[in-house]
Protein backbone atom coordinates (compact mmCIF):
# COMPACT_ATOMS: atom_id res chain seq x y z
CA UNK A 1 0.00 0.00 0.00
CA UNK A 2 1.44 3.36 -0.97
CA UNK A 3 1.23 6.54 1.09
CA UNK A 4 -1.56 7.95 -1.07
CA UNK A 5 -3.71 4.82 -0.53
CA UNK A 6 -3.02 4.97 3.19
CA UNK A 7 -4.26 8.54 3.62
CA UNK A 8 -7.33 8.96 5.77
CA UNK A 9 -10.21 11.09 4.52
CA UNK A 10 -12.60 12.30 7.21
CA UNK A 11 -15.27 12.68 4.54
CA UNK A 12 -15.09 8.91 4.08
CA UNK A 13 -14.81 8.20 7.79
CA UNK A 14 -17.85 10.23 8.77
CA UNK A 15 -19.84 9.84 5.55
CA UNK A 16 -21.99 12.56 4.09
CA UNK A 17 -24.85 10.34 2.94
CA UNK A 18 -27.54 11.55 5.30
CA UNK A 19 -30.18 11.54 2.58
CA UNK A 20 -31.10 7.98 3.54
CA UNK A 21 -31.43 9.11 7.14
CA UNK A 22 -33.92 11.81 6.23
CA UNK A 23 -35.95 9.45 4.06
CA UNK A 24 -36.10 6.87 6.83
CA UNK A 25 -37.36 9.52 9.23
CA UNK A 26 -40.18 10.49 6.89
CA UNK A 27 -41.35 6.91 6.51
CA UNK A 28 -43.70 7.07 9.51
CA UNK A 29 -41.14 5.99 12.08
CA UNK A 30 -41.18 9.24 14.05
CA UNK A 31 -44.92 8.99 14.68
CA UNK A 32 -44.62 5.42 15.92
CA UNK A 33 -43.72 6.28 19.51
CA UNK A 34 -44.99 4.20 22.42
CA UNK A 35 -47.40 5.58 24.99
CA UNK A 36 -44.56 5.69 27.51
CA UNK A 37 -42.58 8.07 25.34
CA UNK A 38 -43.20 11.85 25.41
CA UNK A 39 -44.85 13.24 22.32
CA UNK A 40 -42.65 15.37 20.11
CA UNK A 41 -42.60 18.90 21.49
CA UNK A 42 -43.40 18.08 25.12
CA UNK A 43 -39.91 18.30 26.57
CA UNK A 44 -38.40 21.47 28.04
CA UNK A 45 -34.70 21.92 28.75
CA UNK A 46 -33.65 22.12 32.38
CA UNK A 47 -31.42 24.99 33.45
CA UNK A 48 -27.96 24.75 34.94
CA UNK A 49 -25.37 24.14 32.18
CA UNK A 50 -23.11 26.37 30.10
CA UNK A 51 -21.51 24.84 27.00
CA UNK A 52 -18.72 26.43 24.97
CA UNK A 53 -17.41 24.95 21.72
CA UNK A 54 -13.66 24.89 21.14
CA UNK A 55 -14.02 23.37 17.66
CA UNK A 56 -14.05 19.76 16.45
CA UNK A 57 -15.48 17.72 19.36
CA UNK A 58 -13.86 19.95 21.99
CA UNK A 59 -16.44 21.09 24.53
CA UNK A 60 -16.27 23.01 27.78
CA UNK A 61 -19.17 22.25 30.11
CA UNK A 62 -19.63 24.44 33.19
CA UNK A 63 -22.00 24.25 36.12
CA UNK A 64 -22.13 25.45 39.72
CA UNK A 65 -21.62 23.34 42.81
CA UNK A 66 -23.48 23.81 46.07
CA UNK A 67 -20.85 26.26 47.32
CA UNK A 68 -21.54 28.51 44.32
CA UNK A 69 -18.19 27.85 42.67
CA UNK A 70 -18.01 26.83 39.03
CA UNK A 71 -17.01 23.34 38.03
CA UNK A 72 -15.71 22.61 34.53
CA UNK A 73 -15.65 19.44 32.46
CA UNK A 74 -13.80 19.31 29.13
CA UNK A 75 -14.54 16.76 26.43
CA UNK A 76 -11.84 15.97 23.84
CA UNK A 77 -10.08 19.34 24.22
CA UNK A 78 -7.88 19.95 21.16
CA UNK A 79 -6.69 23.52 20.72
CA UNK A 80 -3.54 22.92 18.67
CA UNK A 81 -5.28 22.02 15.38
CA UNK A 82 -2.04 21.33 13.48
CA UNK A 83 -2.46 20.98 9.72
CA UNK A 84 -3.38 17.47 8.51
CA UNK A 85 -5.34 17.91 5.28
CA UNK A 86 -8.00 15.64 6.75
CA UNK A 87 -10.91 17.15 4.82
CA UNK A 88 -9.10 17.58 1.53
CA UNK A 89 -9.61 15.22 -1.40
CA UNK A 90 -6.27 13.59 -0.62
CA UNK A 91 -7.09 13.11 3.06
CA UNK A 92 -4.79 13.11 6.08
CA UNK A 93 -1.29 11.77 5.71
CA UNK A 94 -0.81 9.10 8.44
CA UNK A 95 2.80 10.27 8.77
CA UNK A 96 1.75 13.77 9.85
CA UNK A 97 3.76 14.57 12.97
CA UNK A 98 1.92 15.16 16.23
CA UNK A 99 2.25 18.70 17.57
CA UNK A 100 1.15 20.39 20.79
CA UNK A 101 0.90 24.18 20.91
CA UNK A 102 2.04 24.56 24.52
CA UNK A 103 2.23 28.35 24.23
CA UNK A 104 -1.44 28.56 23.25
CA UNK A 105 -2.50 26.19 26.02
CA UNK A 106 -0.39 28.08 28.57
CA UNK A 107 -1.99 31.35 27.51
CA UNK A 108 -5.53 29.99 27.77
CA UNK A 109 -5.03 28.28 31.12
CA UNK A 110 -2.82 30.89 32.78
CA UNK A 111 -5.26 33.66 31.86
CA UNK A 112 -8.16 31.75 33.38
CA UNK A 113 -9.86 31.49 29.99
CA UNK A 114 -9.80 27.69 30.23
CA UNK A 115 -9.79 25.40 33.24
CA UNK A 116 -10.87 21.86 34.02
CA UNK A 117 -11.87 19.63 36.90
CA UNK A 118 -12.40 16.63 34.60
CA UNK A 119 -11.30 15.86 31.05
CA UNK A 120 -13.28 13.17 29.21
CA UNK A 121 -11.75 11.38 26.22
CA UNK A 122 -14.13 9.76 23.72
CA UNK A 123 -11.41 7.99 21.72
CA UNK A 124 -7.71 8.07 20.95
CA UNK A 125 -7.43 9.80 17.56
CA UNK A 126 -5.17 12.80 17.03
CA UNK A 127 -8.01 15.34 16.89
CA UNK A 128 -9.34 14.19 20.26
CA UNK A 129 -6.44 13.12 22.49
CA UNK A 130 -3.28 15.01 21.42
CA UNK A 131 -3.55 18.02 23.77
CA UNK A 132 -5.01 16.16 26.75
CA UNK A 133 -1.75 15.09 28.45
CA UNK A 134 -0.40 18.64 28.51
CA UNK A 135 -3.77 20.07 29.55
CA UNK A 136 -3.90 17.54 32.39
CA UNK A 137 -0.52 18.78 33.64
CA UNK A 138 -1.59 22.42 33.40
CA UNK A 139 -4.98 22.06 35.07
CA UNK A 140 -4.54 19.12 37.44
CA UNK A 141 -7.78 17.66 36.04
CA UNK A 142 -8.80 14.04 36.39
CA UNK A 143 -8.82 12.41 32.93
CA UNK A 144 -11.21 9.60 32.01
CA UNK A 145 -10.70 7.22 29.07
CA UNK A 146 -10.24 3.58 28.14
CA UNK A 147 -7.12 1.58 28.99
CA UNK A 148 -5.76 2.35 25.52
CA UNK A 149 -6.40 6.08 25.91
CA UNK A 150 -4.67 6.07 29.29
CA UNK A 151 -1.66 4.22 27.90
CA UNK A 152 -1.36 6.60 24.96
CA UNK A 153 -1.54 9.56 27.34
CA UNK A 154 1.11 8.04 29.61
CA UNK A 155 3.33 7.66 26.54
CA UNK A 156 2.76 11.37 25.85
CA UNK A 157 3.76 12.35 29.38
CA UNK A 158 0.44 12.66 31.22
CA UNK A 159 0.62 12.45 35.05
CA UNK A 160 -0.28 8.85 35.91
CA UNK A 161 -2.04 9.77 39.17
CA UNK A 162 -4.57 11.90 37.26
CA UNK A 163 -5.68 9.18 34.84
CA UNK A 164 -8.82 7.10 35.36
CA UNK A 165 -9.53 3.97 33.28
CA UNK A 166 -13.16 3.51 32.22
CA UNK A 167 -14.85 0.76 30.25
CA UNK A 168 -18.38 2.16 29.93
CA UNK A 169 -21.09 1.74 32.53
CA UNK A 170 -19.47 3.93 35.19
CA UNK A 171 -21.78 6.39 36.94
CA UNK A 172 -19.66 8.77 39.02
CA UNK A 173 -20.75 11.57 41.34
CA UNK A 174 -18.64 14.67 42.01
CA UNK A 175 -19.15 18.07 43.60
CA UNK A 176 -21.67 19.83 41.38
CA UNK A 177 -22.11 17.22 38.68
CA UNK A 178 -22.32 13.55 37.78
CA UNK A 179 -20.61 11.76 34.88
CA UNK A 180 -22.16 8.76 33.17
CA UNK A 181 -19.75 6.80 30.95
CA UNK A 182 -21.33 4.88 28.07
CA UNK A 183 -19.94 2.30 25.69
CA UNK A 184 -20.11 3.67 22.17
CA UNK A 185 -18.83 3.21 18.61
CA UNK A 186 -16.58 5.16 16.31
CA UNK A 187 -17.67 6.32 12.89
CA UNK A 188 -17.35 3.69 10.17
CA UNK A 189 -15.86 4.51 6.79
CA UNK A 190 -16.68 3.36 3.27
CA UNK A 191 -16.36 0.98 1.56
CA UNK A 192 -15.78 -1.73 4.17
CA UNK A 193 -17.07 -0.08 7.33
CA UNK A 194 -13.57 0.31 8.74
CA UNK A 195 -12.51 2.47 11.65
CA UNK A 196 -9.64 4.82 10.91
CA UNK A 197 -6.42 4.07 12.80
CA UNK A 198 -8.05 1.13 14.53
CA UNK A 199 -6.45 -0.86 17.32
CA UNK A 200 -5.78 -0.92 21.04
CA UNK A 201 -2.77 -0.43 23.31
CA UNK A 202 -3.55 -2.52 26.40
CA UNK A 203 -1.38 -3.60 29.33
CA UNK A 204 1.57 -1.19 29.03
CA UNK A 205 2.15 2.22 27.46
CA UNK A 206 3.59 2.11 23.93
CA UNK A 207 6.61 4.09 22.82
CA UNK A 208 5.94 7.80 22.53
CA UNK A 209 3.59 8.46 19.57
CA UNK A 210 5.22 10.50 16.79
CA UNK A 211 2.69 10.45 13.97
CA UNK A 212 -1.10 10.70 13.83
CA UNK A 213 -1.27 7.02 12.84
CA UNK A 214 0.20 6.16 16.26
CA UNK A 215 -2.88 7.53 18.04
CA UNK A 216 -5.28 4.64 17.56
CA UNK A 217 -9.02 4.70 18.26
CA UNK A 218 -8.67 2.37 21.24
CA UNK A 219 -12.36 1.93 22.04
CA UNK A 220 -14.95 4.71 21.87
CA UNK A 221 -16.91 6.12 24.79
CA UNK A 222 -19.82 8.55 25.01
CA UNK A 223 -20.45 10.72 28.06
CA UNK A 224 -23.44 12.24 29.80
CA UNK A 225 -22.62 15.13 32.14
CA UNK A 226 -25.42 15.88 34.60
CA UNK A 227 -25.57 19.05 36.69
CA UNK A 228 -26.97 18.94 40.23
CA UNK A 229 -29.97 20.80 38.80
CA UNK A 230 -30.73 17.75 36.65
CA UNK A 231 -29.76 19.45 33.37
CA UNK A 232 -27.67 17.12 31.25
CA UNK A 233 -25.65 16.99 28.05
CA UNK A 234 -24.78 13.86 26.07
CA UNK A 235 -21.73 13.84 23.80
CA UNK A 236 -20.69 11.45 21.06
CA UNK A 237 -17.14 11.64 19.72
CA UNK A 238 -17.98 9.75 16.53
CA UNK A 239 -21.04 9.47 14.31
CA UNK A 240 -22.21 6.12 15.68
CA UNK A 241 -23.57 4.74 18.94
CA UNK A 242 -24.86 1.65 20.75
CA UNK A 243 -28.61 2.11 20.91
CA UNK A 244 -29.13 -0.19 23.90
CA UNK A 245 -26.70 1.89 25.98
CA UNK A 246 -28.93 4.94 25.57
CA UNK A 247 -32.27 3.45 26.61
CA UNK A 248 -33.95 5.62 29.22
CA UNK A 249 -31.58 8.59 28.88
CA UNK A 250 -33.29 11.96 28.52
CA UNK A 251 -30.56 14.58 27.98
CA UNK A 252 -31.43 18.23 27.53
CA UNK A 253 -28.65 18.70 24.97
CA UNK A 254 -27.25 16.16 22.51
CA UNK A 255 -23.89 16.99 20.95
CA UNK A 256 -24.24 15.11 17.68
CA UNK A 257 -21.45 14.67 15.10
CA UNK A 258 -22.16 15.29 11.46
CA UNK A 259 -21.92 12.25 9.21
CA UNK A 260 -23.24 8.80 10.02
CA UNK A 261 -23.83 7.91 6.39
CA UNK A 262 -23.23 4.18 6.99
CA UNK A 263 -25.46 3.95 10.07
CA UNK A 264 -29.10 3.06 9.30
CA UNK A 265 -31.39 5.94 10.32
CA UNK A 266 -28.48 7.49 12.21
CA UNK A 267 -30.32 10.61 13.37
CA UNK A 268 -33.93 9.46 13.63
CA UNK A 269 -33.23 6.29 15.59
CA UNK A 270 -31.01 8.17 18.04
CA UNK A 271 -33.43 11.02 18.71
CA UNK A 272 -36.36 8.66 19.21
CA UNK A 273 -34.33 6.59 21.66
CA UNK A 274 -33.46 9.77 23.61
CA UNK A 275 -37.07 10.98 23.71
CA UNK A 276 -36.60 13.91 21.30
CA UNK A 277 -34.19 16.15 23.26
CA UNK A 278 -34.89 19.88 23.51
CA UNK A 279 -31.55 20.80 21.89
CA UNK A 280 -29.48 19.05 19.23
CA UNK A 281 -26.15 20.81 18.78
CA UNK A 282 -23.89 19.73 15.90
CA UNK A 283 -20.32 18.82 16.75
CA UNK A 284 -17.30 17.64 14.75
CA UNK A 285 -18.50 19.56 11.68
CA UNK A 286 -15.71 22.10 11.20
CA UNK A 287 -12.59 21.71 9.05
CA UNK A 288 -9.89 21.94 11.71
CA UNK A 289 -7.15 22.92 9.29
CA UNK A 290 -8.62 26.40 9.74
CA UNK A 291 -8.07 28.56 12.80
CA UNK A 292 -10.03 28.13 16.00
CA UNK A 293 -10.12 31.93 16.25
CA UNK A 294 -12.06 32.35 13.01
CA UNK A 295 -15.65 31.33 12.21
CA UNK A 296 -15.97 27.57 11.76
CA UNK A 297 -15.76 26.24 8.20
CA UNK A 298 -18.13 23.36 7.42
CA UNK A 299 -16.40 20.29 6.02
CA UNK A 300 -19.61 19.35 4.24
CA UNK A 301 -21.93 17.58 6.67
CA UNK A 302 -23.66 20.37 8.59
CA UNK A 303 -26.68 21.05 6.39
CA UNK A 304 -27.45 17.36 5.89
CA UNK A 305 -27.37 16.90 9.65
CA UNK A 306 -29.70 19.89 10.10
CA UNK A 307 -32.15 18.43 7.57
CA UNK A 308 -32.10 15.00 9.21
CA UNK A 309 -32.71 16.44 12.70
CA UNK A 310 -35.51 18.71 11.50
CA UNK A 311 -37.21 15.78 9.77
CA UNK A 312 -36.80 13.25 12.58
CA UNK A 313 -37.50 15.52 15.56
CA UNK A 314 -39.07 18.82 14.45
CA UNK A 315 -39.60 20.07 18.01
CA UNK A 316 -35.91 19.66 18.86
CA UNK A 317 -34.05 22.93 18.36
CA UNK A 318 -31.05 22.49 16.06
CA UNK A 319 -28.67 25.02 17.56
CA UNK A 320 -25.42 25.74 15.71
CA UNK A 321 -22.71 27.11 18.01
CA UNK A 322 -19.68 28.75 16.40
CA UNK A 323 -16.10 28.60 17.66
CA UNK A 324 -15.82 29.80 21.29
CA UNK A 325 -19.55 30.61 21.49
CA UNK A 326 -21.58 29.55 24.52
CA UNK A 327 -24.96 27.86 24.82
CA UNK A 328 -26.74 28.08 28.17
CA UNK A 329 -29.57 25.77 29.14
pTM to 2 decimals? 0.90
> What confidence score (pLDDT) does residue 167 get?
98
pLDDT at site 189: 79
The count of other CB atoms within 10 Å of the CB of residue 173 is: 10
Q: What is the pLDDT of residue 17?
A: 46
DSSP H helical ranges for the chain: 10-14, 19-24, 102-110, 126-129, 132-139, 147-155, 266-273, 302-312
Residue 10: per-residue pLDDT: 55
pLDDT at 12: 53
CA angle 92, 98, 99 (to 5 degrees): 120
Give the model's pLDDT for residue 19.
Answer: 36
Neighbouring C-beta atoms of residue 287, cutoff 10 Å? 18
Set out the domains of the chain in order of their start, with CATH numbers.
Answer: 10-328 (3.60.15.10)
How far, in Å, CA of 194 to CA of 188, rounded?
5
**pLDDT at residue 9 in the model:** 60
From the first residue on, what is the mean pLDDT of each consecutive set of 10 residues in the chain (329 residues)?
Answer: 52 47 34 39 86 98 93 98 95 97 98 98 98 98 98 98 98 97 91 90 96 98 97 97 98 97 96 98 98 97 98 97 97
Inter-residue contact 65 to 228 (CB < 8 Å): yes
Amino acid sequence: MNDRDDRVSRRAIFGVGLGAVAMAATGGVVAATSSSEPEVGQRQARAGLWLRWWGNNSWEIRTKAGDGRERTVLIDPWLTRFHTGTYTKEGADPKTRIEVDTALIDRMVDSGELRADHILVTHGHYDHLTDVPYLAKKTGATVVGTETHVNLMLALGAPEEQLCVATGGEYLSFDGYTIRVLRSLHSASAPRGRVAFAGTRPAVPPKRPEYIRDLVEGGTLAYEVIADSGASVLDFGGSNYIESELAGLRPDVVLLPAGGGMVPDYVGRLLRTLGHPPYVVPTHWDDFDHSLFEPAKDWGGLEQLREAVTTASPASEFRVVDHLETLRT
